[in-house]
Structure 1
Amino acid sequence: MNRLHKAMKKNPEASQKKLAEILGVSPSRVCKLLRKSADRYGCGHREGPRDSGD
């Protein structure tokens, strides 16, 4: 995860796909690492079931 954070700092405008290329991993792995990081540091957003309002 440390490599991901360094890549994000060096390439702040990079997409997940570009970050994956930089790190030599799949885009889905980058997504999982970002979610793990958000969970760990409390900076992510998790959607629960939507309330239909009825």
Structure 2
Amino acid sequence: VKELGLDVPVVVRLEGTNAEEAQTILSKSGVSIIPAVGMKDAAEKVVNAALGA
């Protein structure tokens, strides 16, 4: 995200064996990635991010 210079919110659906580890890595990375659990949660977070909520 930093290397690409993205200035839009990025939502990532994390599920599976290493989902918790991935969330920890993302939260410590300092990049503005919004983690989501499942497609419904991801869709809600995308809408909220697009609306600036």
TM-score normalized by the length of structure 1: 0.30
More helix by share: 1
TM-score normalized by the length of structure 2: 0.30
Q: Which has the larger radius of gyration?
A: 1
- By relative contact order (CA 8 Å, sep 6+), the higher-ranking structure is 2
